[in-house]
Amino acid sequence: MSLLVVGISHRSAPLEMLERVSLDETRSRTLASGVVGLEDVRESLVLATCNRTEVYADALTFHGAVAQVGAALAAETGMDLEALTPHLYVHYEDRAVHHLFSLACGLESMALGESEILGQLRAALRAGQRDAHLGAALNPLFQQALRVGKRAHTETGLDRVARSLVGAGIERADDILGALVGARALVVGAGAMSGLAAASLRRAGVGRLTVVNRTRERAERLATSHGGLARDWDDLAAEVQQADLVLSCTGATDQVITRELLTGADRSERPLVLIDLAMPRDVAPEVAGLPGVTVWGLTELTELAAAGSKPTPGTPTPGTPTPGTPRPWTAASDATTAGDGAPDAAETATVLQGVRDLVSGEVATYLATRRSAQVGPTLAEMRSRAVSVADAELARLDHKLPGLDEEQRAEVHHSVRRILDKLLHTPAVRAREMAADDTDGSYLALLRELFDLDPRETAAVEQPPTVGGLP
């Protein structure tokens, strides 16, 4: 396997460009199908989220695969390749594994440490399995990435310091709306992010939760699971006008919440907060200019998440309830019950370093295991070569000693086989141990050279650049 990642994200491109290259589920699957059919690619998986589009490939060559995948990505998104190229990043082999494991832990997300990415990775893996785009290279790799992400959330304090975009938006909404207990909330869309939004709103204590989706069945399924109500897409305008807080994350390519949708709604006395989690954006820019309406898109939510948790209890903030009223939900309230204070900078830095160390250890273990597994075919071929030599010699012996009876002949054959097994056992064990540390494939190549095995199996892999970016 030669793992290759070609991608674009919020770290490499402005949000305006990310909107242009955003892919829905259908187009993601189309891109994956096109990539797996490329000359230099054997397997492919496309990960498309609100802030990244990445193509993972099991590549036969580096430069050939990068060029082909880059062209396929440009073609599917309708972008000019020359305009897209400066914003693309490329990771290869160990750096690609490290990137994926870090991604699974939320270390590459807009909101550091968020857990939504695990659901998105799982969905991308299932799509790849369903479409038969994955094999022995990418399938186990992504399953391991999911396990690494789970470890990060269960074995470190990541959930305590993590700030999801949904949580950041909801936590700040009560600064404008007052305590969210009893508020009227609307979720637009019924995907994975909408599910997280509904769960978070219910934990925040909203009084009325409504879900609107183009497909009524999916809206009902999401609403039912969180004690809410489902409405038809034609009811969107009425539901938005009645809501206090709206979280929208659809797969629409056009804007679904427009100025016209709010025409006639007086928000001067009853503010409205719109949290737009979609890419491309669901909320039209001019909506933010309406009186009493606050709109937070991904850019604003990232800033809110980076700002950290709200002050600890006892510090006055707008919308803080008086003593005896239900305490506002916060993003950290689900993560820990040990104390009310938010983690400070030192604790956050320590936790994040622990997650990074976990990732580094998992990457090293994964690569060592993979290298050990790769020596298997060489050992099998080495044994096959030795058995062939032994068989030739036994055949020669049978010809020279025709007088041996069948029992004697069988005993001779059995003894030769036992000698062969004992001679090969220790070298095979040592070969697997040494292959685990064979980062450049030199040991495997030497092994094949010593036993005169087919050199094509260990032909030097085309070396990639030392930095990310298209060549």
What the block records as the tokens of 186 is 């609307």
| 466, part of any domain | no
Beta carbons of 216 and 190 less than 8 angstroms apart = no
- Whether the full predicted model's pTM is greater than 0.75, yes or no, is no
Out of 161, 191, 206, a domain closes at: 161
Angle, CA 57 vertex, CA 444 and CA 441 arms, to 5°: 10
> CA 415 to CA 407: how far, in whole Å?
12
Residues 384 and 327 in one domain: no
Q: What is the pLDDT, as a whole number, of residue 112?
A: 81
> CA 382 to CA 431: how far, in whole Å?
11
Residues 374 and 315 in one domain: no
> CA 179 to CA 185: how far, in whole Å?
13
Q: Which spans in 228-344 are helix H?
A: 236-242, 298-307
Report how far apart, in Å, the C-alpha atoms of 177 and of each of 109, 181, 292, 325, 370 are: 28, 10, 11, 15, 53
Q: What is the pLDDT, as a whole number, of residue 334?
A: 44
Q: What is the pLDDT, as a whole number, of residue 132?
A: 94
Out of 161, 184, 209, a domain closes at: 161
Structure-derived torsion over alpha carbons of residues 270, 276, 282, 287, reported in degrees to the nearest 10: 40
Beta carbons of 433 and 362 less than 8 angstroms apart = no
Q: What is the CA radius of gyration of the chain?
A: 29
| 223, part of any domain | yes
- Centre a 10 Å sphere on the Cβ of residue 399 and count the other Cβ atoms it contains: 8
If 0-12 CB within 10 Å is exposed, 13-18 middle and 19+ buried, where does residue 124 land? buried
Q: What is the pLDDT, as a whole number, of residue 335?
A: 41
What the block records as the tokens of 240 is 């938005």
| 435, part of any domain | yes
Beta carbons of 22 and 89 less than 8 angstroms apart = no
| 343, part of any domain | no
Residues 447 and 381 in one domain: yes
Q: Give the single-character DSSP code of 214.
A: S
What the block records as the tokens of 451 is 């036993």
| 349, part of any domain | no
Q: Which of 4, 120, 101, 100 is nearest to 51 (CA)?
A: 120
- Strands 52-59, 184-188: pairing kind: unpaired
3-state secondary structure (DSSP) of residue 342 = coil
Cβ contacts of residue 248 below 8 Å, gap of 6+?
Answer: 187, 188, 189, 256, 257, 274, 275, 276, 277, 278, 282, 283
> CA 15 to CA 51: how far, in whole Å?
8
Residues 310 and 191 in one domain: yes
What is the total count of domains within the chain?
Answer: 3
Q: Give the single-character DSSP code of 283.
A: B
Residues 435 and 299 in one domain: no
Residues 249 and 370 in one domain: no
Secondary structure (H, E, C), 161-189: HCCCHHHHHHHHHHHHHCCCCCCEEEEEC
What the block records as the tokens of 266 is 């007086």
Residues 107 and 200 in one domain: no
Q: Which of 186, 163, 412 is nearest to 308 (CA)?
A: 163
Owner of token pair 């050279």: 449
Residues 84 and 174 in one domain: no
Residues 279 and 376 in one domain: no
> CA 81 to CA 441: how far, in whole Å?
34
Q: What is the pLDDT, as a whole number, of residue 437?
A: 67
Q: Which of 42, 196, 18, 201 is nearest to 119 (CA)?
A: 196
> CA 105 to CA 158: how far, in whole Å?
9
For residue 50, indicate whether it is catalytic: yes
Based on DSSP, count helices (H) and strands (E) in the chain, helices before strands. Answer: 16, 10
Residues 286 and 432 in one domain: no
Angle, CA 359 vertex, CA 440 and CA 367 arms, to 5°: 25
Terminal Cα distance for the chain, rounded: 21
- Strands 208-212, 184-188: pairing kind: parallel
| 469, part of any domain | no
Beta carbons of 293 and 272 less than 8 angstroms apart = yes
Report how far apart, in Å, the C-alpha atoms of 94 and of each of 47, 274, 364, 377, 459 are: 19, 41, 9, 21, 19
Q: Give the single-character DSSP code of 212.
A: E
Residues 305 and 171 in one domain: yes
Q: Domain of 433? A: 356-458
| Catalytic-labelled residue, pool 50, 193, 352, 447 | 50
| 146, part of any domain | yes
| 463, part of any domain | no
Query: From start to end of 306-441, where are the E strands?
Result: none
Residues 10 and 71 in one domain: yes
What the block records as the tokens of 351 is 């936790």
Per-residue pLDDT 10s for the chain (471 aa) are: 589 999 999 999 988 899 889 898 899 999 999 999 999 999 999 999 888 999 999 999 999 999 999 999 999 999 999 999 999 999 999 999 999 999 999 999 887 888 889 999 999 999 999 999 999 999 999 999 999 999 999 999 898 877 678 888 888 898 889 888 989 999 999 887 888 889 889 988 999 999 999 999 999 999 999 999 999 999 999 999 999 999 998 878 789 999 999 887 777 778 999 999 888 889 999 999 898 999 998 888 878 777 664 433 333 333 333 333 333 444 444 443 334 455 667 888 899 999 999 999 999 989 888 877 767 777 778 788 888 888 888 888 888 888 888 888 889 888 988 888 888 888 777 777 776 666 666 666 777 777 777 654 444 344 444 334 454
What CATH number is given to the structural domain containing 132?
A: 3.30.460.30
Q: What is the pLDDT, as a whole number, of residue 308?
A: 60
- Strands 3-9, 52-59: pairing kind: antiparallel
Q: Which of 96, 101, 75, 74 is nearest to 87 (CA)?
A: 74
Out of 119, 144, 161, a domain closes at: 161
What CATH number is given to the structural domain containing 230?
A: 3.40.50.720
